Amino acid sequence: MRRPRNPKLSLALSAAVILLLTIFSTTTRAAAQTEKVLHTFGFESKSGTDPESNLIFDSAGNLYGTTTYGGTDNVGTVFELTPKPGGVWTEVLLHSFAKNGTDGQNPQAGLIFDSAGNLYGTTNAGGIDSNGTVFELSPPVPPSTLD
């Protein structure tokens, strides 16, 4: 004759198995991840502070983004990070927003590229009415060669 199952014991065993599987899968996933800092922004830096948006890559593997503060007037920047040998990344300041009545201030959203390599983004302040701007940054035009 077969003994009847204890429902409390079955429930406890099921909960224990689920808990162990959750711990195992979380631990395995966490152990597989490593972090490497690519760039550190300085406090009150002229090259930018407080990056709050997503980054985008170009076809050469450079990263582009914005900082909400920092720059010449402490109202944000657009930057490029370029990978160098040995895992080092170099920051290039592409634009420092200005408190001049027309430029945008405090970008908090990411950037996008068009097919010509222009960068587009938004700011949440600045501009003529101080309510933000949509901006375009164009790459420098290479000097023409004369024949």
Which of 114, 117, 41 minimizes the C-alpha distance to 79?
Answer: 41
Among the residue ranges 22-31, 65-74, 133-142, the one predicted with the least confidence is 22-31
> Distance of alpha carbon 31 from its chain centroid, rounded?
23
Question: pLDDT digits over 24-58, tens only?
Answer: 666 555 567 888 899 998 877 788 999 999 999 99
**Whole-Å CA distances, 37 to 25, 34, 87, 118, 136:** 26, 10, 10, 27, 29
- Domains of the chain by residue range: 56-137
> pTM of the entire structure?
0.73
- Write down the pLDDT at residue 47: 84
Question: pLDDT digits over 80-94, tens only?
Answer: 999 999 989 999 999
Measured CA to CA, the distance from residue 94 to residue 92 in angstroms comes to: 6
